[in-house]
Structure 1
Amino acid sequence: MAVQDEIQLDTHRALFYHWRVWELTGLMRPPGVSRLSYLVYSIAINLVVTLLFPLSLIANLLFTTNLAGMCENLTITITDVVANLKFVNVYHVRKQLHEIRTLLRQMDLRATQVGDPEELSALRREVEIAQGSFLTFARIFVFGTLLSCIRLIIRPDRELLYPAWFGIDWRNSTRSYVLINIYQLFALVAQAVQNCASDSYPPAFLCLLTGHMRALELRVRRIGFGPDLSKEEVYEELIECIRDLMRVHRLREIIQHILSVACMAQFACSAAVQCTVTMHFLYMAADHELTAMIISIVFFTAVTLEVLVICYFGDRMRTQSEALCDAFYACNWVEQLPKFKRALHFTLARTQRPSLIFAGNYIPLSLETFEQVMRFTYSVFTLLLRAK
């Protein structure tokens, strides 16, 4: 049974879909692929998609002359540019991603050696939640891509999937119109895959951290309660748990480094898009343009949910870190050796403050932060309403 658990327990599976996306989009070289061929592939796909697609959106924004069109284009452009910045950040932190993979193997091996069913169940549950978050984002992006295609098909006049500038008179050239839409569809699918991974890997990392904290909490609570254990053996058990705690703290430090820029970019993007969408909504409501109002509401809801998801999983991880601290108080320390109590005392001093992940090393990922973001959004909305 222990051998079977060792084979099955692999918490890095929480990033299985993300890793495949990063391989397909030129960030992580798959095993068995030559370095040169993958480099050529990576440069080609990122020039065609990651660079050219947002540049076409920015160029179109510069040529927009009316306020309604500018608000609509600005919303799309900000979202896409920030998504590409988060994608580039993954390349920047790729060494830390490999380090996490190695660290998780060590922590999985330790959990397998302990062999507690409740610990293993908690870890597998977090893996399922992380994979489920990716699939949820994937369904949303598939739905959005299909809506764009349907909108293009049913419109009586010629339009692009997304407003962009290519320097070609595609309205009067069927060939140019077809080629540009084929390119946009390809780029849109590639960008949707990239964005799906970029939006869902922060919750996945937070799930991993929460799961290993939960497993360690259960492990620590059992210290001193095992039958037929000498006090020296209980002390060694505590030392092993302290080593596990050091691995958890190292995992948190790496995740902090990985998520700091990505989450800060998401907060900035959400604030900018919310303000732009609010202005667009107010002016479109005055013109009674129902379609434009619906699009504004959808964009506003999407960027708000992205922040909510990050803050929820960050708050969930903080709650688990508090439970881990309580676990050291709950172990059977009263009857143990003096050196056990000294080691426990130093450990408690280290775990007094709950662990948090900070966006930009400043903004905590918590539900309180989400509440502040919504208050800021409401303040901007009322200010624009009065100005109008």
Structure 2
Amino acid sequence: MFSFELPQENLMNFIVAIISLATMVKFMMYIRQLNKVKEIEKVLVKLDKRVDTEEELKIHKSMTKELSLVSKMFILAYTANAVIAESSFLFQDKRTLPFPTWFPLDWKNSMLYYLLALLYQFLSITAQISQNFVDDLFPPLVLCLIARNCEMLIHRISLIGYDQSDQRTNEQRLYSCIRDQQQLYRLLDLSMEIFSAPMLLQFIVIAIDLGAAMCEIVLYGDSQLDRLYYRTLTIGLFLQIFPICYYGTLVEHVFGRLHYAVFTSNWVDQSIVYRRTAITFAFRTQKVPQLMAGNVIPISLTTFLANCKAAYSFFTLIADTGKESN
């Protein structure tokens, strides 16, 4: 970093260095929590077995399509960023590398060393983007699963008491829904243990990188290819925080509805045991869970907006510094 004459090269290396360091740290955090991912899978298997009504099957099918859509969106954005980054050297007048860097071989005067340098950078950026893909896709997918399973639970509870089942059967159905609710809270706790700390790091890093990328687009973008690269990079940076913030807000909203779900069932015509259990259930779900990154920053759309404001502040700081140095 900061070893080149041109400011755009130093700024590019600053962005890459920050992303690389944060990616490695996040990846190690996730590796330490792999055993909890297996627990999440077991809980999801139990919840999938509870899907039986036609409406729940529709929600489950819609959830599957939503998960696929989010995954494809990440794949498209990250692949585009990788292709543009790794092919930028093809459109230069002289021999250059995709990323300005020091290389221990004289690649400017040797075709073999030049190909080795290109191969090294291709493998490095591909590995980093692959790590980013895994790190960034996991949290929104898990929160999507939690939110949609909570919607199915709300629907499941609201149907109790409207068919020809006896009161004892309805009591058992409510008990089963309470066990589902416990599974959902367990699923949420496991998820936050896995990505709460990485998300705190991610929110901080994204604000810095977004501001730096905006500077490259506005101040230093010399060619259309450079501007295209930084635009795709900006989209990728937004994808690292917007989906998780959106689903964080959605989870809080859906769990807030869970508190009233039991009163949409036909509780009036049920036994005293059912009604007491319903009141207990309502009290237990009265407190909506707060999703926090590192127990500091809420995982919600308000944080996404705050991140954008912080990125703009960092952009103005770099721009003012550049004017003073000139």
Q: Structure 2-normalised TM-score? A: 0.89
Match of 1:177 in 2: 114
Query: Shift of residue 292 of structure 1?
Result: 4.9
CA distance in 1, matches of 2:112, 2:26: 34
Kindly indicate whether residue 21 of structure 2 is the aligned counterpart of residue 84 of structure 1: no
Structural mapping, 1:100-119, within 5 Å: 100-111=40-51, 115-119=52-56
CA distance in 1, matches of 2:37, 2:54: 28
CA distance in 2, matches of 1:382, 1:63: 23
Match of 2:136 in 1: 199
Aligned residue for 2:241, secondary structure, equals helix
Question: Which of 71, 76, 94 pairs up with 1:139?
Answer: 76
Match of 2:172 in 1: 236
Kindly indicate whether residue 91 of structure 2 is the aligned counterpart of residue 154 of structure 1: yes
Q: Structure 1-normalised TM-score? A: 0.76
CA distance in 2, matches of 1:164, 1:242: 58
Aligned residue for 2:240, secondary structure, equals helix
Asked whether the 8 Å contact 2:29–2:198 carries over to 1, the reply is yes
Kindly indicate whether residue 185 of structure 2 is the aligned counterpart of residue 249 of structure 1: yes
| Amino acid of the structure 2 residue aligned with 1:262 | P
Asked whether the 8 Å contact 1:138–1:193 carries over to 2, the reply is no
CA distance in 1, matches of 2:261, 2:162: 13
CA distance in 2, matches of 1:332, 1:208: 28
Instruction: After the TM superposition, list the runs of 4 or more consecutive aligned residues in structure 1 that deviate by more than 6 angstroms.
Output: none
Query: Shift of residue 278 of structure 1?
Result: 4.3
Query: Shift of residue 91 of structure 1?
Result: 0.9
Match of 2:261 in 1: 327
RMSD: 2.4
Kindly indicate whether residue 147 of structure 2 is the aligned counterpart of residue 210 of structure 1: yes
CA distance in 2, matches of 1:377, 1:190: 26
CA distance in 2, matches of 1:317, 1:159: 47
Query: Shift of residue 382 of structure 1?
Result: 4.8
Kindly indicate whether residue 160 of structure 2 is the aligned counterpart of residue 226 of structure 1: no
Match of 1:353 in 2: 287
Runs (5+) with no aligned partner, structure 2 = none
CA distance in 1, matches of 2:279, 2:173: 15
CA distance in 2, matches of 1:300, 1:184: 21
Structural mapping, 1:306-317, within 5 Å: 306-317=240-251
Change (3 A) 1:144 1:106: same
Query: Shift of residue 194 of structure 1?
Result: 2.5
Identity of aligned residues (%): 25
Asked whether the 8 Å contact 1:317–1:356 carries over to 2, the reply is no
CA distance in 1, matches of 2:56, 2:81: 38
Query: Shift of residue 152 of structure 1?
Result: 1.4
Match of 1:122 in 2: 59
Query: Shift of residue 374 of structure 1?
Result: 2.4
| Cα deviation digits, residues 178-230 of structure 1 (max 9, x gap) | 11212322333333222222221111111111121111111011112121x22
Asked whether the 8 Å contact 2:209–2:311 carries over to 1, the reply is no
CA distance in 2, matches of 1:291, 1:109: 50
Asked whether the 8 Å contact 2:77–2:232 carries over to 1, the reply is no
Length, aligned pairs only: 322
Change (3 A) 1:140 1:299: closer
Query: Shift of residue 380 of structure 1?
Result: 4.1
Change (3 A) 1:187 1:260: same
Asked whether the 8 Å contact 2:80–2:232 carries over to 1, the reply is no
CA distance in 2, matches of 1:362, 1:226: 46
| Cα deviation digits, residues 116-146 of structure 1 (max 9, x gap) | 1211221232222122212221122221222
Asked whether the 8 Å contact 1:78–1:269 carries over to 2, the reply is yes
Asked whether the 8 Å contact 1:325–1:348 carries over to 2, the reply is yes
| Cα deviation digits, residues 285-308 of structure 1 (max 9, x gap) | 7xx676655544443443234322
Match of 1:276 in 2: 212
Runs (5+) with no aligned partner, structure 1 = 1-60
CA distance in 1, matches of 2:78, 2:213: 19
| Amino acid of the structure 2 residue aligned with 1:178 | L
CA distance in 2, matches of 1:375, 1:153: 36
Match of 1:260 in 2: 196
Asked whether the 8 Å contact 1:134–1:197 carries over to 2, the reply is no
